[in-house]
Chains A and B, each alone.
Chain A
């Protein structure tokens, strides 16, 4: 008599708990940084609830992304799926789109750096000013 619904193997459960702990830890760090900057203290329950909400939100995101990719008959989730995920908020959507462009530019530049045999390097200098700012945001 094995009940499959409750029979998630121990290994998977352990991984899940570790991931949750990792998420909690980062949430705590981000919360503390922001609270310190604003000169307030968040109660433990607030941080725990935010972490729990984020975890739940991750599940929602994962399920949505999976469906989007499947709908497009793909097995790999790409940036377009993420953009679709942010459709509810125009600002968020714009921001993510911007990040995506920055990411692509950055990637192109590292490619250029790896292969310096490009004939014309004129256009390369134009976009660098923007890139630096985006980079520092990402870190």
Chain B
């Protein structure tokens, strides 16, 4: 997506694995690639929505309040 930084598939894999309740559950390469993409989108969305909200008030230094504002809708969208 935007910018160069992305999550590493290996990291995403390990994060997901340690959350599974059943340790026999695995994730295939296809799904992992999509999950990585999904997390990239999630973080980008969080950041961009926060910035958009702050720009409405012409804020260049963005405090936590703006993230708090966009958080509910963000969680509903994912």
Contacts and interface: CB of A to CB of B under 8 A. Distances in A.
Interface of A: 12, 15-16, 19, 22-23, 26-27, 29-31, 33-35, 37-43, 45-46, 49-50, 53-55, 57-59, 61-63, 65-66, 69-70, 75-79, 81-83, 85-86, 88-89, 92, 95-96, 99-100, 103-104, 137-139
Contact of A58 (B5, B6, B39, B71): B39
Contact of B18 (A19, A43, A50): A19
Contacts of A79: 28, 30-31, 34
B31 A77 contact: yes
A99 B40 CA distance: 13
| A-B pairs, 4 with minimum CB distance | A62-B19, A33-B3, A29-B5, A45-B64
Interface of B: 1-8, 11, 14-16, 18-22, 24-28, 30-31, 33-35, 37-44, 46-48, 50-51, 54-55, 59-64, 66-67, 71, 74-78
18 contacts: A22-B11, A23-B11, A26-B8, A26-B43, A30-B44, A33-B2, A46-B66, A54-B42, A55-B15, A62-B16, A77-B25, A78-B30, A79-B31, A79-B34, A88-B78, A92-B38, A103-B30, A104-B30
